Amino acid sequence: MAYPTLSFLVLFILCNILASAKEATPLDGLLPNGNFEVGPKAVHLNKTVIIGKYSLPKWVISGIVEYISGGPQPGGFYFAVPRGIHAVRLGNEASITQYVRNLKPGTTYSLTFGATRTCAQDEVLRVSVPGLYSDLPIQTLYSTDGGDTYAWSFRANSSVVKVTFHNLGMQEDPTCGPLLDAIAIKERLPLKLTPGNLVKNGGFENGPHIFKNFSTGILVLPMRQDLYSPIPGWIVESLKPVKYIDSKHFNVPSGLAAIEFVGGRETAIAQVIRTVEQKWYQLTFTVGDAKNGCQGTMTVEAFAGRQSASVQFISQGKGWFKHATLRFQAVSNRTRIRFWNPFYHTKLHDFGHICGPVIDDVKVVPVA
């Protein structure tokens, strides 16, 4: 008579194990209808304008929000929707909102989203969660082959977080505003030190969600616009973003990801590491190009302690890279290592596409 009870107990334990495993899986993928491929019913559309607050599945809308299909548009516009077929366009003071569920309170998450201005030079997109927001000045286009992709991070205060994308603009054309074509979320995993390396995430393997079907790289905002970096361990301490690139769509010296300096002398990344005062260390890193047609003389400058190094190379835009070394002496128990790009670059045959040198494989080891 004990067997049914034992079987039930085993089944109960297995169910709990499976449930725990499911809960433990890090969140990494599109938000519900994050690519907007599930559109409003025809009765809720006035040409392209969505009628009704809850007419866009999984989203709550406010103001003039258009449901767009990629390609030529009335009035001579052309909207690229590289990550699918459909997108939404936010008009004057318009917004879309979604309540993201099953988050872990106290955990940091990054949003990856495709955002492109459509007509006005001064378009601003605000992305926000309760108690935190950032205004993205999207008038600068960093890619001309399908729109830019951004990453923005926040720390969850509860298991349900309200995420909002809002067009702050007031243009003469009330429909004029940014285009959103895909929105994904990724849980930021805890950082771990690699044995023999004082730098955390030195290969940039830990980063924001990357769209698999299309990528122009992901623009990571400066710290003044993003309190929690989507690239764990690293601070974007400049006026312009850096670009997080993946090995599927770009040339990466090693591993899955690297950083491209696309903002010229307004771009820098840094990390503070633990050191021993007066002790000597060796900083090594790899520089090169992303195999994206970015050509010319490129320079990456590295700083650590009171020492610095300038690494220069001539790029043919075909995926070449080289290794560099900087030996430095620590002046305290904390040392800031910093990388900076002093020049501006564009593709040789596409002056609207901003690009720059790539950095990867950052390591710091004590010198015996």
19 — phi, psi (to 5°)?
A: -65, -40
221 — phi, psi (to 5°)?
A: -75, 155
pLDDT tens per residue across span 65-119: 999 998 887 777 788 888 889 999 999 999 999 999 999 999 999 999 999 888 8
Residues 183 and 230 placed together within one structural domain of the fold? no
Give the pLDDT score at 71.
83
Residues 160 and 309 placed together within one structural domain of the fold? no
* Total tally of structural domains belonging to the chain: 2
Q: DSSP secondary-structure letter at 321?
A: E
Residues 112 and 259 placed together within one structural domain of the fold? no
Q: How far apart are CA 321 and CA 294, in angstroms?
A: 13
Q: How far apart are CA 149 and CA 218, in angstroms?
A: 5
Give the pLDDT score at 17.
47
pLDDT tens per residue across span 155-203: 999 999 999 999 987 777 888 889 999 999 999 988 888 888 999 999 9
Q: Which domain holds residue 89?
A: 28-187
**Is 18 contained in some domain?**
no
Give the pLDDT score at 334.
96
pLDDT tens per residue across span 200-243: 999 999 999 999 888 889 999 887 766 789 999 999 988 889 99
- Alpha carbon distances (Å) from 142 to 120, 149, 352: 16, 9, 7
CB 294 within 8 A of CB 261: no
The residue among 187, 217, 240 that closes a domain is 187
Residue 27: how many other CB atoms lie within 10 Å? 17
Residues 235 and 313 placed together within one structural domain of the fold? yes
pLDDT above 70 coverage of the chain, percent: 92
User: pLDDT at residue 135 above 50?
Assistant: yes
Residues 183 and 34 placed together within one structural domain of the fold? yes
The residue among 187, 213, 236 that closes a domain is 187
Residues 166 and 245 placed together within one structural domain of the fold? no
CB 234 within 8 A of CB 273: no
CATH number at residue 126: 2.60.120.200
User: pLDDT at residue 311 above 50?
Assistant: yes
Provide mean pLDDT across the span 135-155.
85
User: pLDDT at residue 266 above 90?
Assistant: no
Q: Tokens representing 79?
A: 């909207």
